[in-house]
Amino acid sequence: MRYYIADCHFFHNSLNYQMDCRGFASAEEMNAYMIDQWNNKVRWNDEVVILGDFSVGKAEETNRVLEQLNGFLYLIEGNHDAFGRKKGYNAARFKWIRPYAELNDNKRKVVLCHYPILCYNGQYLRDDSGGFRTYMLYGHVHNTWDEALIQKSQELARQQIRRLRDGTEYELPCQMINCFCMYSDYTPLTLDEWIENDRIRRARPAK
């Protein structure tokens, strides 16, 4: 099974009362909860793709967290990740570390980047039944005004009608999903679970 998650920010205590307002009493409490949520879902033979900003902790601290997490880990580098640039981090815990990747997930193309890409590779691909074949998974923006702008951009894109030379018309596909850890209660999710999670979130009335 393959799972995805973004922006865990282990050891980032200020997120408990700023920006995310996660509400944990301390970074230690937050870390323990995220580790439990992770291991309650992920088994040792599962894969987890981390879409950036895994930890802001020191090398030794972060290594201890990595040793506790189930699964084979893959890292899409975020702006807070230092695994490939500083000594001491256990980069060997990751099968690979990349700034960008494209994978196949159950006959669907998945574009992976820490930063949202509005016009992503394979965006127009559809399967034989007309369903979407490509999803862009990202992180970075958490649940901020930037995320709201991305959602508005997607809504605008989906309203556009493209007309082909033969007269066929279709809506512009725009399947971008923010895999922000708070959207899943800090639990890695499969692609199908993120698709459903995103659908439910977008259906909620704006606050």
pLDDT in tens, 114-153: 999 999 999 988 888 878 899 999 999 999 999 999 999 9
CB 133 within 8 A of CB 122: yes
For range 202-206, the mean pLDDT: 77
Cα→Cα distances 87→60, 77, 79, 145, 176, Å: 10, 16, 17, 35, 34
pLDDT in tens, 149-192: 999 999 998 888 888 788 888 778 899 999 999 999 999 999 99
What pLDDT is attached to residue 115?
A: 98
pLDDT at 206 over 80: no
CB 41 within 8 A of CB 49: no
CB 177 within 8 A of CB 132: no
Of the candidate ranges 87-91, 189-193, 203-207, the one whose mean pLDDT is the lowest:
203-207
Residues forming beta bridges with residue 73, ordered by sequence position: 48, 94
CB 121 within 8 A of CB 111: yes
> In the chain, where do the E strands start and end?
2-5, 47-50, 72-76, 94-98, 100-105, 108-113, 134-138, 161-163, 169-171, 176-178
Q: Write the DSSP symbol of residue 165.
A: T
Per cent of the chain over pLDDT 90 is 81
CATH of 2-199, one of 3.40.1440.60, 3.60.21.10, 3.30.2000.10, 3.100.10.10: 3.60.21.10
What pLDDT is attached to residue 101?
A: 98
pLDDT at 207 over 60: no
Q: Where are the domains of the chain?
A: 2-199
pLDDT in tens, 108-120: 999 999 999 999 9
Of the candidate ranges 61-70, 87-96, 109-118, the one whose mean pLDDT is the lowest:
87-96
